[in-house]
Amino acid sequence: MRRYLALPCVLALSACGFHPLYGPQAGQPARIAAQMDEIDIAPLADRQGQVMHQALEAALQRDGAPSFYRYHLTVQYGISVQIIGVQQDTSNTRNRFLATAHWELTPEGNLTTALAKGNAQAMDAENIIDNQYFANTLDGGIMRHQLARELANQIAMQLALYFRAHPDHGA
């Protein structure tokens, strides 16, 4: 029964002109995906930056490593921690993590001329369990990877919107 109800919804979406932002479209090459694949991601400092760099590569370079770079992406990335749960003995029981990224896209040959700029932000929290150091460390690592993926997806979406609005760049 659900299949029969889902079919009209799918047909309605296709009739209204819905199509993926940077996926292939009928009869058209995946121009936006190709442009995003030509972005060189600048190195980021420390382990946290490496995680962000890997997330950006996964979000932008879907066809693997490009043969050449047409654009250069720089990202300033950081995670701040706020203690939001405090016990009477002043030990914390819950932390909130706020990840922020400021990015700038430039042409590969001219790193001083910004084509586009933007910001991305994601938030998560974790509970601190007494005497569970390994579990807390593992949860913190997983959470940092999730935050990096969320920011990378936001940056990829913002870049796709930029390339859709500026089809002449890189053509």
* DSSP strand pairing (71-86 vs 39-41): parallel
Q: What is the pLDDT of residue 26?
A: 42
Judge whether 38 and 68 are in contact, CB under 8 Å.
yes
pTM: predicted TM-score of the whole model, two decimal places: 0.76
Judge whether 76 and 104 are in contact, CB under 8 Å.
no
Q: What is the pLDDT of residue 128?
A: 76
**Residue 17 burial (CB < 10 Å; 0-12/13-18/19+)?**
exposed
Average pLDDT for the chain: 79
Amino acid at 21: L
In the chain the domains, ranked by start, together with CATH numbers, are 31-165 (3.30.160.150)
Q: What is the pLDDT of residues 27-80, one digit of tens each?
A: 334 678 888 889 999 999 888 889 999 999 999 887 667 778 899 999 999 999
* More confident of the two residues 18 and 142: 142
The share of the chain scoring above pLDDT 70, in percent, equals 72
Query: In whole angstroms, what is the distance from residue 48 CA to residue 143 CA?
Result: 11
What 3-state class would DSSP assign to 161? helix
What integer is the mean pLDDT of 77-88? 84
